[in-house]
Amino acid sequence: MTKTSLRLALAQLNPIVGDVAGNAEKVRAARREAAAGGAELVMFPELFLSAYPPEDLVLKPAFQDACRKACEELARETADGGPAVLVGLPWLEDGKLYNAYALLDGGLIQSVRFKVDLPNYGVFDEKRVFEPGPLPGPVVFRNHVRLGIPICEDIWGEEVVECIAETGGEILLVPNGSPFRRGVIEERLNVAVARVVESGLPMVYLNQLGGQDELVFEGASFVLNADRSFAHQLPAFREAIRITDWERGPDGWRCLPGEVAPVEAGDEADYAACVLGLRDYVEKNRFPGVVLGLSGGIDSAICAAMAVDALGSERVRCVMMPYRFTSQESLDDAKKCADALGVRYEIVPIAEPVEGFEQALAELFAGTNRGITEENLQSRVRGTLLMSISNKFGPMVVTTGNKSEMSCGYATLYGDMNGGYNPIKDLYKTEVFRLSALRNRWKPAGALGPDGEVIPENIIVKPPSAELRENQKDQDSLPPYDVLDDILACLIEHEMRLSDIVARGHDLETVQKVERLLYLAEYKRRQAAPGVKVTRKNFGRDRRYPIVNRFRDPGEPAHEPDRSLVKGVGRAGGESFDF
């Protein structure tokens, strides 16, 4: 008799890249929980045994062996009659390495499917390390349901799902390692709906959770029925194991309705991503905590709040390092912020080391005027002090430069750029202001910081200043941040022509200045700490610009090619296309 029900567990979990044994233990624990819930099958995200993305680590034969051995051990354990397991791993076959997904059941590796469409854009570089697999047919599970397994990118085109549907697939189970960025949750849902409509099949979209270097995987897994209705929505930014119940009817398989968890969006999602990214970078690298300079400005204040939300106040140490340009207002604001967050707070004056450096350089600098060099000494002393605390006691230094500063080079190498990780690296200054106000009225689920105002209102409303000279303000040498950030977004996220940016209402000279600063600061960004990615194009894996670069957009309208000059354009097979 044909079985008409299926109980499937979805394991939205947080693996660690390279921790094959630890990830396998997570599989075992989730399988036990799934068994207690009566599940017949438990599925895990893409490449779960290695964790995603393993990058060039996956090319090491010893690492490949470790993943395969763990998979075989897990397969043997399924001989106990408990739930079957669907798990991802790198798989070597006939000298070729694949991004694979394996069905483990009855003590055996029953079936293996390979990822077909290997993404090679933005943060993805899978063609570098994997071979594309053949178009897959469905996997038969316990002789009563045919499971289609398109892996992550395989559903972003039509071909793989179409092949599965045409060869008898009944349910689409999609393991994913899809990182967070603004708007991606809506994009994923649109893609999933398109494949469901085209195939007429229900879909499980199971995504990885957790931070991995600059990437954050927010989970937010879901189940769609063939009629496009939501059956389940798992939470974002939190682990979850969800039991789903399925029934076969005259129109095929259908998932019974379950919990639809709320999912953070907009600024709330950005803040939650920054907290999760920082937490996992610290935890997975086994730092005991963090230390940062608390200046009384907004960037260090929001970083302190994120650190406390991520790790708890007892693991966050803040240091105020005043010099003669530090205002009493900044001293007061930093103390209020530290008190509100409940962190350890110390004041370490820097006059003596700064003036010591100036004295050591006095003869070399004789006859020159004071300027940026002397200002940078203050920043470099502060960076050295923070790194010394880190070296002595073990906490990681959190660096606090926002994307506006990193774009324009308004950060000092070996000074305020010192540190291991930057939670606001991909947030523009205007967004830092906005998220600071947000945090005072809201905090993410699971955050360890206090409720209510943690960033004093005066920090949010006062004009930003590095306080490296008398009466210094950021806007002395930069456009207003709303203007600057719009220009930067046009240049970075959208690669717009200067003429098109000017058409948005910006002054050409200002746009040219910003473009020049952006290009000149490339060498600094290459030496910057990693930080959470939240935008479509972050500084890091997304945006790979040359340091040596003399190109400058002349600000002219788009060039219309003169096709009368082109005799032919080469094509495949040696043919040419004639205009």
So which residues are the catalytic ones? 46, 115, 152
Eight-state DSSP code of residue 296: S
Q: How far apart are CA 205 and CA 196, in angstroms?
A: 11
Q: How far apart are CA 47 and CA 17, in angstroms?
A: 10
Q: For the sheet containing 41-43, what is the strand order?
A: 108-114, 96-105, 84-93, 41-43, 5-12, 240-249, 252-255
**Residue type for 558, please?**
A
* 176 annotated as belonging to a binding site for a ligand: no
Judge whether 85 and 27 are in contact, CB under 8 Å. yes
**Alpha carbon 157 to its chain's center:** 23
Q: How far apart are CA 263 and CA 269, in angstroms?
A: 8
Q: How far apart are CA 418 and CA 422, in angstroms?
A: 10
Task: Tell me the H-state helices in 251-369.
Answer: 266-284, 298-311, 328-341, 351-361
DSSP 34-87: HHHTT-SEEE--TTTTT-S--GGGGG-HHHHHHHHHHHHHHHHHGGGSS-EEEE
* 178 annotated as belonging to a binding site for a ligand: yes
* 400 annotated as belonging to a binding site for a ligand: yes
Give the number of C-alpha atoms closer than 13 A to the C-alpha of residue 566, restricted to the C-beta side. 10
Written as six digits, the tokens of 365 are 């600098």
Backbone angles phi, psi at 151, to 5 degrees: -100, 110
* 256 annotated as belonging to a binding site for a ligand: no
Backbone angles phi, psi at 357, to 5 degrees: -65, -45
* 401 annotated as belonging to a binding site for a ligand: no
* 449 annotated as belonging to a binding site for a ligand: no
* 88 annotated as belonging to a binding site for a ligand: no
* 293 annotated as belonging to a binding site for a ligand: yes
Eight-state DSSP code of residue 536: S
Judge whether 418 and 302 are in contact, CB under 8 Å. no
Q: Among candidates 480, 9, 461, which has minimal Cα distance to 255?
A: 9
Judge whether 219 and 262 are in contact, CB under 8 Å. no
Q: Is 574 helix (H, G, I), strand (E, B) or coil?
A: helix
What residues form the annotated binding site for deamido-NAD(+)? 376, 405, 524
Residue ranges of the annotated binding site for L-glutamine are 121, 178
- Return binding residues for ATP: 293-300, 400
* Annotation: binding site: 121, 178, 293-300, 376, 400, 405, 524
